[in-house]
Structure 1
Amino acid sequence: MPVSVTRARASLRALAVTVAAFAVLTSTGCTIVGTHPPSSPTPAASPSDQTRIGVIAGSDPRAAEITGIVEAAIPELALQSVVFGVWVGDDEIVRGAVDSPSAPLPTATDALVRVGQPMEAMLGTILLQLGTEGVVDLDAPVSPYVPELVNADRITPRMLANTTGGTPDYVTNADFIARVHADPFAHYTFSELLGYAQQSPPLFAPGTGWAYSHTEMAALVQVLERASGQSLEDLMQSRIYGPLGMTRSSAHQDSEIGQPAMHAYTNQRGVYEDSTSWDPTWGFDGGMNAPVIDLGRWLRALNDGDLLTAADAETSLAPVSAGLGGMSAQRYFAYGSLVADGWIVGNPILNGYQGFTAQERNPSVTIVVWSAVAPANTETSNASQTIAQRIAAIVSATPFTM
């Protein structure tokens, strides 16, 4: 996601209060690393003064090095908690959770996080599936599905998936930002989100430029639902989660999150507060919760084209936006994915959750990191990206840059 979008998302974090269930970390046939002292231990540290680490790892020696990177990042980057997973090919190198000594509750290795942006590539996959099945014409106007969208008679579903329709992003609207800060529990409908976006004129003629737009992703959800006659939840379950065995993932259009959940926090309203239960429907009239292991499975499937025909799989990650809006053949946006120098990357920032996903295309390397900030964190950058880049330097010969 472009830096400007990341900053806009960061400006929207706010208060929420939740109660999380205590989760016990268990595993079979794996190494479990328990409570560790902090990197710079204080004399006679009690358990409450210790960094909590729960790790599932095999015999790969890189597992300990990766865990050390995450542990060191907790105090360095002012973080409360981190959940992470790393795979080389289909082999899991390590997966775990690390909490600072000040974390109110321990984070489970299978904790649910709010996903945000990586869900957009799933929407792109569903669109390509429906196109091949003849359910929706990817190159016909979207006016039958979202007639209220400005330029609906010229914007196509394919443009929505690649955000090349020129529709302004409601996230940058001052009235919208003010409402989110005033009430972080507010629920948003597509009509409301579109209303904020269309207070501004189109950015460019449909298909002539590229600019990331939450609005166009929200409109894509409407197209998928209205063309298929199914809800977002049903589409995701039948076409993504079920086929891939993502058993703990769920799509939703409310603020629900299951347990165990990773707690999120934010300073954005001038006080450090738990934001786990803040309503996420401002994202694009939909949301997703998932554990790290499910996100890793999705990234590998996206890279391999497991859910698409060979032709659609190639299209889904092709440089379709190259030459538009600063995109190039080396760095471009395609059907919900940002592809940069041979990596598929995502950097969602949602309701105090800072995430980063990175999938090296060839050879296959998968990195998933989600973090929550501690009180001293100013939230001006995505700590999960920093951690992911450090991990990439260990498991890949071509670490990514952003």
Structure 2
Amino acid sequence: MNEKTQQELIEFVSGAAEQLGVPGVAVGVLADGREGFACHGVTSIVNPLPVDADTMFVVGSVSKTFTATALMRLVAHGRVELDAPVRRYVPEFATADEITVLQLLNHTAGLEWKLGVDPGEGDDALARHAAELAATPLIAEPGGRASYSQAGFNLAGRIVENVTGLTFEQAVSSLLFEPIGLAHSCYAVNDVMTRRFAVGHNADADGKLTVARQWKDNRSNNPGGGVATSVSDLLRWARFHLGDGRAESGEHLLPSEELHRMRNQTVELRGTTLGDAFGICWFLRDIDGVATIGHGGSGNGQFADLLLVPEHDFAVTVVSNAGPDAGLAFNRAVVTWALEHYLGVVERDPEPLPYDQARAAEIVGHYENEMMRLTLDSDGTGLTIACAIKPEFRAATDTELPPDLPPATLGLLPGDTGDYIVTDGGLVGQRGFFTRDQDGVVTGIDLAGRLFART
């Protein structure tokens, strides 16, 4: 990356952060074998420190890529079989349903998105989570369809614990963080507090940014979303996945065929911005004729994106500490700009159809999962979608939760499949689809890869 290209990256990142009002951001790009970084703003509006490439952010579901890769190391050593039932490795997951390890890693296990129960911060957190999950009804037949599940990845973390005899956090550190040299990556708050880290920010009722007081989720959500890391580490992580399974030290952590197996399609996805298919954890997406693999993540007022283009040995990673409108919009703008600027790859959203009152009448209403409610409404001229945490769930917890998303415009896409796209607000660009029963009645909606049942 030459000096001119580096300066263009810095200018774009700073301009976008200022325009969208994000307090602090960090971006890393790997192109032509060289790394470039652009950082802007501060870690917190209350206690500000400049953000740099080693500043740690909570990267949410990008954490799943670490959990899946740790499991693949155990697969490569013959200690775990992907087609084996989960209960072989997690006896406390006592359920009659035959769910396999692979179904956890490609979100086809039929498990609920997330559990609202906090099992505490002890070393038994994942064991208690697994037992609770076993008693939770499935939302789909195992292997029947993909529906993104945080709970499923937390259960995968329990496999890592039981097979290695270590806590999940110790196991991932030993299997990945230490040998790859990810010096700015960890799970425990106490390990973060001695380093520079960013806090999340959310807008209050007046639109003013305030510091998010819950920094990260509880311990049982570490496998699905608990990593705190930096863009410098994320770019090193990208280099590992673009390589042959060796760490920079030369240590062979994974056979290249097992590493690259994670990029192979295991289940097709429909109508989602996240990807065209799942590999093993990775979202696989064709953008302008180019194959990409990636994963995004969200926390309380923090957002992260990691995208790799293997055929070009290219990667971009973005972290930001405002949400949801500003942070999501910033991350998407940077990824879109980087693909076009470095590779000439242009991402284009499909155009929605004009408003159709008859089609709108079929889909308006409420849709829910364990923790969240979507409301689709129509004023006779257009459709809107609002996303909220269930009031009863907010009332039952003392934990600070992210704000609800106000109604945003939704447009239906051509064809009779029921696909849609959100055209403004914090979810702008998000695509999904409606599920119908055998009589053609709408029974659910998919948003961000998650199934919400109609109520």
Higher relative contact order (CA 8 A, sep 6+): 1
Alignment of 1:2-401 (within 5 A): 59-99=2-42, 104-109=47-52, 110-149=54-93, 151=95, 154-170=98-114, 176=116, 189-190=125-126, 201-252=137-188, 256-267=192-203, 272-275=209-212, 277-281=214-218, 284-286=221-223, 287-306=226-245, 307-322=253-268, 331-341=276-286, 342-373=291-322, 378=325, 381-400=328-347
Instruction: Give the 3 Å change call, closer, same or farther, for CA 281–366 of structure 1 in structure 2.
Output: same
- The aligned amino acid for 2:316 is I
Instruction: Report if aligned partners of 1:356, 1:384 keep a CA contact under 8 Å in 2.
Output: yes
CA distance in structure 2 between the aligned counterparts of 1:150 and 1:115, rounded to whole angstroms: 31
Task: Look up the equivalent residue of 1:74 and give its one-letter code.
Answer: A
CA 1:195/1:400 → structure 2, altered by over 3 Å: closer, same or farther? farther
**How does the TM-score come out when normalised to structure 1?**
0.72
SS in structure 1 at match of 2:153: helix
- 8 Å CA contact 1:118, 1:337 repeated in 2: no
Higher strand share: 2
Q: Indicate the SS of the match to 1:251.
A: coil
> What is the alpha-carbon distance in structure 1 between the residues aligned to residue 92 and residue 189 of structure 2?
20
Indicate if the aligned counterparts of 1:233 and 1:251 stay in contact, CA closer than 8 A.
Answer: yes
* Distance in 2 separating the partners of 1:273 and 1:191: 35
CA 1:386/1:200 → structure 2, altered by over 3 Å: closer, same or farther? farther
Superposition deviation, residue 158 in structure 1: 1.3
Q: Is residue 254–residue 279 contact of structure 1 (8 Å, CA) maintained in 2?
A: no
Q: Provide the rounded CA distance (Å) in 2 between the counterparts of 1:233 and 1:105.
A: 29
Structure 1 254/93 Cα, relative in aligned 2: closer, same or farther at 3 Å?
Answer: closer
Query: Matched residues in 1 for 2:43 and 2:74: separation?
Result: 45
Post-superposition Cα deviations, 1:15-63, rounded to whole Å, max 9, x if no partner, equal xxxxxxxxxxxxxxxxxxxxxxxxxxxxxxxxxxxxxxxxxxx743111
Secondary structure of the 2:239 match is helix
Q: Deviations over 1:342-371 (max 9, x none)?
A: 122222111211111111121022111111
> How far 1:273 moved relative to its partner?
2.7
1:144/1:200 CA distance change after superposition, 3 Å: closer
Partner SS, residue 105 of structure 2: helix
Structure 1 position 199, deviation (Å): 7.3
Q: Matched residue of 2:228: which SS?
A: strand
What is the alpha-carbon root mean square deviation over aligned residues?
3.3
Do the aligned partners of 2:64 and 2:281 also contact (CA within 8 Å) in 1? yes
SS at match of 1:359: strand
CA distance in 1, matches of 2:130, 2:87: 14
Query: Deviation per CA, 1:58-116, whole angstroms, max 9, x where unpaired?
Result: 74311111111111112321211111111214311334333499675132312111122
1 CA distance for matches of 2:313 and 2:164? Answer: 33
Residues 235-254 of structure 1: per-residue CA shift (max 9 Å, x gap): 22222122221122123488
Aligned to 2:387: none
1:283 Cα deviation after fit = 7.3
Q: Deviations over 1:350-393 (max 9, x none)?
A: 1211111111121022111111228xx75594421222212222
Unaligned runs of 5+ in 1: 1-57, 181-185
C-alpha contact 1:317 1:335 (8 A) present in aligned 2: yes
* Aligned mates of 2:198, 2:100 — CA distance in 1: 37
Report the Cα distance in structure 1 between the residues aligned to 2:43 and 2:215, rounded to whole angstroms.
Answer: 23
Query: How far apart in 2 are the matches of 1:77 and 1:393?
Result: 20
Name stretches of at least 5 consecutive residues in structure 2 with no aligned partner.
246-252, 349-428, 430-455
TM norm structure 2: 0.64
- Give the SS at the match of 2:61: coil
Distance in 2 between residues matched to 1:303 and 1:399, nearest whole Å? 22
Indicate the larger mover: 213-222 or 126-135.
126-135
CA shift at 1:292, angstroms?
Answer: 0.8
Matches of 1:151 and 1:101 in 2, distance apart? 44
**In the superposition, relative to structure 1, how do residues 400 and 345 fare at CA in structure 2: closer, same or farther (>3 Å)?**
farther
How far the C-alpha of 1:305 sits from its partner, in A, is 4.1
> Structure 1 counterpart of 2:330, which letter?
A
User: Which secondary structure does the structure 2 equivalent of 1:117 belong to?
Assistant: helix
Q: Given residue 283 of structure 2, which amino acid in structure 1 is its aligned partner?
A: L
Q: Identify if the C-alpha distance between structure 1 residues 91 and 364 changes in structure 2 by more than 3 Å, giving closer, same or farther.
A: same
Identity %: 19
Q: Is the contact made by 1:263 and 1:372 (CA closer than 8 Å) also made in structure 2? A: yes
Partners of 2:300 and 2:310 in 1: how far apart? Answer: 29
C-alpha distance 233-210 of structure 1, shift in aligned 2 (>3 A): same
Q: Which letter maps to 1:385?
A: R
- Residues 93 and 133 in structure 2, CA contact (< 8 A), matched pair in contact too: no
